[in-house]
Amino acid sequence: MSIFQQSKPVGDPLLNPQKTHARRREATLVRRLAVRLPLLASAAVLLFFVLAAIAPNLLAPFDPLAINPAQAFSAPGAGHLLGTDESGRDIYSRIIHGARPSLLIGAAATAIGLGLALVLGTIAGFGGRWLDFGVARILEVLFALPGLLLALVFIALAGPGVATTVIAVGLTSAPGYARIIRAQIIALRTSPMVEAATVLGRSRSRILTAHILPNALAPITVLATLGLGQAILWAAALSFLGLGAPPPAPEWGTMLSAGRTYLSLAWWMTFFPGLAIVLVAAASTVLSRSLKSGGGQ
């Protein structure tokens, strides 16, 4: 078989990699770790803040509201890990205690947005031509206004506070979700799958609840984790403007706002709450992205 041994792989050598198995395995291991590193880091960050939200006393060494004027404006260091504010309150402890309201506001706002979107999307997708027309126009108007402006209008009407912040942020995120749900429902409504269910004698409501909604919501759950970071960001922005949680409360946006006055004197008062917001928003975005691309490999 001398001729056979002369034979070569046909075509582009790049298309016919002849790496040894060991080398290939090593390469894939490194690549896999590189792919997973941001994912693992994000999971760790979120776990930390969720733990902080559930049991802040476990992680925080000080009372977030305890005033100690003697210690005011301490720089980050041994006694106070991330420094103290103008009343000598420990920034680290305040960030830990602030996790609960901040995360809750984000989660509640996303839930409200999703709930509203589900109602609007289902009405539009399932309600017939005129309802669809009406809802679509409402969504377009909501889309035309910048999200934050919409939230501000709502707060101006309903008055500031945590509850109104949550509703305002939920309201602004609803149109995006609603549009996707509507499109999903319309596509599913005429799908062979629904036709098959009709042929099997399923009722309209049964088809809606058992086949259409679960399949329409699958892509939305991924999107909602992406929206969670966004909602936390918006809630913090509204608090920063003084429209959310009132000042003494350890809410991240409120802390940012309070620190702003002393920015030249004590940078840590704004930097660390801001970092917490960025970390949570970024981590939830990375996680949802990997969910979207199929559960991170």
Partner 1 sequence: MSAAEPILRVTDLNVSFGGRSVVQGVSVTVNPGECLALVGESGSGKSVTARSLIGLAGSGSLVRAETLEVAGHDARNLSQRRWRTVRGRQVGFILQDALTSLDPLRTVGKEIDDALRVHSKGSGAERAARVIELLEAVGLDDPVRRAAQRSGELSGGMRQRALIASAIALDPVLIIADEPTTALDATIAASVMELLGGLRQSGSGMLLISHDLAAVATVADSIAVMQGGRIVERGPREQIFEDPQHPYTRALLAAVPAGKPRFTRLSPTAQATAATSSHSQPGEAAAPNGLPGAVVRPLLRARGLAKTFPLGKSADLTAVRNVDFELLPGRTLGVVGESGSGKTTTARMALGLLAPSAGTVEFLGEPWSSVPESARRPRRALLGAIYQDPLSSFDPRLSTGAMLADALSGGATRNPRAHVGEITELLAQVGLDAGLAARNPGTLSGGQRQRLAIARALAPKPRVLICDEPVSALDVSIQAQVLDLLDDLQRQLGLGYLFISHDLAVIRHMSDEVLVMRAGEVVESGATEQLFTAPQHEYTRTLLAAAPTLLGR
Whole-number CA gyration radius for the chain: 26
How buried is 214 (Cβ within 10 angstroms: 0-12 exposed, 13-18 middle, 19+ buried)? exposed
Nearest distance, CB of residue 32 and partner 1, angstroms = 18
Q: Does 195 bind partner 1 (CB under 8 A)?
A: yes
- The interface region with partner 1, picked from 64-72, 83-91, 172-180, 187-195 by CB under 8 A, is 187-195
Q: Alpha carbon of 86 to those of 4, 71, 109, 222, 261: distances in Å?
A: 83, 9, 31, 41, 10
For residue 84, the cross-strand partners are 90
Q: Does 128 bind partner 1 (CB under 8 A)?
A: no
Q: Does 61 bind partner 1 (CB under 8 A)?
A: no
Given a contact cutoff of 8 angstroms between Cβ atoms, the answer to whether 139 and 178 are in contact is yes
Nearest distance, CB of residue 189 and partner 1, angstroms = 13
Nearest distance, CB of residue 135 and partner 1, angstroms = 25
Nearest distance, CB of residue 218 and partner 1, angstroms = 8
Given a contact cutoff of 8 angstroms between Cβ atoms, the answer to whether 142 and 175 are in contact is yes
Q: To which residue do tokens 């970390």 refer?
A: 279
Q: Does 3 bind partner 1 (CB under 8 A)?
A: yes
Name the 3-class secondary structure at 161: coil
Nearest distance, CB of residue 41 and partner 1, angstroms = 31
- Dig out the tokens for 55 from the structure: 């049991």
Q: Does 215 bind partner 1 (CB under 8 A)?
A: yes
Q: Does 214 bind partner 1 (CB under 8 A)?
A: yes
Q: Does 87 bind partner 1 (CB under 8 A)?
A: no
Q: Does 10 bind partner 1 (CB under 8 A)?
A: yes
Residues of the shown chain interacting with partner 1 in the complex, contacts defined by CB under 8 A: 3-4, 7-12, 15-18, 191-193, 195-204, 206, 210-211, 214-215, 218
